[in-house]
Amino acid sequence: MPPTDAHRPQVVIVGAGAAGLSAGGALMRLGIEPTILDKDDRIGGSWARRYERLRLHTIRRFSGLAHHPIPRSYPRYVPKDQFADYLEQYAEALQLRVELSRPVRRVRAGEDGLWETVSEQEERWLAPVVIIASGNYNEPVVPRWPGLDDYAGRVVHSRDYASGRDFAGADVLVVGIGNSGAEIAADLVEQGASRVAIAVRTNPPIMPRDLFGVVPVQLLGLALTPVPAATLIDRAGAVTRRVAIGDLSRYGLGKAEWGPFTARRPPVIDVGFLKELKRGGIEVRPAPARFTTDGVVFADGREESFAAVIAATGYETGLRRLLEVPDAVRPDGRPRFRSGRPTPHAGLYFIGFDETTRGVLFEARRDSLRLARDVRRYLETRSTPT
């Protein structure tokens, strides 16, 4: 029998990040009040804790959530603390019920077509709909490089990096050239690190945040993503990048090994990295092969000493641990199903996991509006007598 002490909302949303809040706001506008569960002790906490230099890479107009845009008084590229404040304001404005300090341990199908959500405190929620909005950046990953345990220097995942001031005067290696890795490398140089190198395994496409200093690159993504010719667009994009940023091979970065439109993921957005790379402030290295007591041996056999290593090496979603639902999660930990769409498991939805060249916040808002309409139809179907 289902537990008699369980909470029984219509909808449970796991995760009070931007995607989960937008889904909640879209549902509230349709008269459906969800319960939103989050492990943090404040709304927007994960944004507030990120490195000081961080701003949104997408423009304010296309980064707001459903039914409550970011205030026009905010700058075009919103600083991370202001965005965290906006998320708190959003939850208040849409009158969302957010249960903080509620880390979810398990989600599984229960009896009578209900979904059971269980917190680490053993609280239970039973609802006909559960929306997983815990995000792609849930559990930081640091590869177990050979020799890492013997390395005497400091190893910090990008999640825990705050400012280059903490590494002033030090030789620092950044491992990984996603958006966080590139921006952290630039920040280290600007804040006075003695030497900065970045280890690159796969050469990414890099685009300026404002193309030719004028056009926000997100606008190109918005215009071109719907065009059904991803390979051709990526080829044209490669030419545009060459014109906008020049040939990077002389600085140690080769031709991009994937295209944003083909891969359906944003390029690395340049906010200072290329300037420091071209003037020699950032050196490019291949991937680490192993660690020594005072540094790293790279894949090309070169050995160098570093006082600290910043691991911009990505995250796991944590979905394989969280979801007790057969075939719902891919081997890489991401959902098998599109965000904002119904799944083969009635009442189970995902949101906030899809990345495109239009921007994850743009996609979250768009998906939340569609998802809310689908959830309303599903709930109406359940309540209709047969």
Task: State how far the Cα of 329 lies from the Cα of 344, in Å rounded to an integer.
Answer: 13
Helix-helix angle 360-383:18-29, to 10 degrees: 40
Q: What is the pLDDT of residue 108?
A: 97
- 3-state secondary structure labels for all residues of 113-177: CCEEEEECCCCEEEECEEEECCCCCCEECCCCCCCHHHCCCEEEEHHHCCCHHHHCCCEEEEECC
Hey, what domains does the chain have and what are their CATH numbers?
Answer: 11-138+317-383 (3.50.50.60), 141-311 (3.50.50.60)
Q: What is the pLDDT of residue 299?
A: 97
Q: What is the pLDDT of residue 5?
A: 83
Apex 96 CA angle, 14 and 339, nearest 5: 40
Task: Classify residue 249 by its DSSP letter.
Answer: G
pLDDT tens digits in sequence order for the chain, 386 residues long: 344 588 999 999 999 999 999 999 999 999 999 999 999 999 999 999 999 999 999 999 999 999 999 999 999 999 999 999 999 999 999 999 999 999 999 999 998 999 999 999 999 999 999 999 999 999 999 999 999 999 999 999 999 999 999 999 999 999 999 999 999 999 999 999 999 999 999 999 999 999 888 899 999 899 998 888 999 999 999 999 999 999 999 999 999 999 999 998 899 999 999 999 999 999 999 999 999 999 999 999 999 999 999 999 999 999 999 999 999 999 999 999 999 999 999 999 999 999 889 999 999 999 999 999 999 999 999 876 54
Q: What is the pLDDT of residue 4?
A: 55
Torsions phi, psi for 324 (to 5 deg): -100, 65
Residue 12 pairs with which residues in a beta bridge?
35, 130
CA-nearest of 17, 67, 60 to 38 is 17
Q: What is the pLDDT of residue 6?
A: 87
pTM as predicted: 0.94
Look at the block and give the residue holding tokens 């491992």.
Answer: 175
**CB-based contacts of 145: which residues, under 8 Å, 6+ apart?**
288, 289, 290, 291
* 154 alpha-carbon distance from chain centroid: 25
